[in-house]
Copies of this chain bind each other. A is one copy, B any other.
Amino acid sequence: MLFDASAVIIPLLKQKTDILQPENISHLNGFASIWCSIENLFLSATAEGYGCNLRVPLGNEEEYARKVLGFPEDYFMPCFIGIGKPHKDIVPVKQKEINIKERIHWDTF
């Protein structure tokens, strides 16, 4: 998927603390923010007729990307984003169907 993409976007976040050792939820605020930005990027790209996919790095993939691209140690990479014009015969990913009424609770769970 990424291999075939027209471009790969690597979002980077300046992360002052170790993302895998958060002391409290606020230490994940930057991580939360960058995922909001990534959602915006996906929505914008889709609105322009592009398609996106993403891969969360596994194992040493982040360090490999850091070495290849030369981004600093204090930048954290949440994912790889592939972007390009979707194939015409592409089958959109089927969303899991949910019953919204069962998911929304009012006043109490």
Measured CB to CB, the residues of A under 8 A from B are: 12, 19-20, 22-26, 28-29, 31-33, 35-36, 38-40, 42-43, 56-58, 62, 69-72, 75, 78, 105, 107-109
A and B contact pairs by CB, cutoff 8 A, 26 listed: A19-B22, A19-B25, A19-B28, A20-B23, A20-B24, A20-B25, A22-B22, A25-B78, A26-B56, A28-B28, A31-B31, A31-B32, A32-B35, A35-B35, A35-B36, A35-B39, A36-B36, A36-B39, A39-B39, A39-B40, A43-B43, A69-B107, A69-B108, A69-B109, A70-B109, A72-B109
Other A-B pairs, 15, CB within 8 Å; known A32-B56, A36-B36: A19-B25, A22-B22, A26-B56, A28-B28, A31-B31, A35-B39, A36-B42, A39-B40, A40-B43, A43-B43, A69-B105, A69-B108, A69-B109, A70-B108, A72-B109
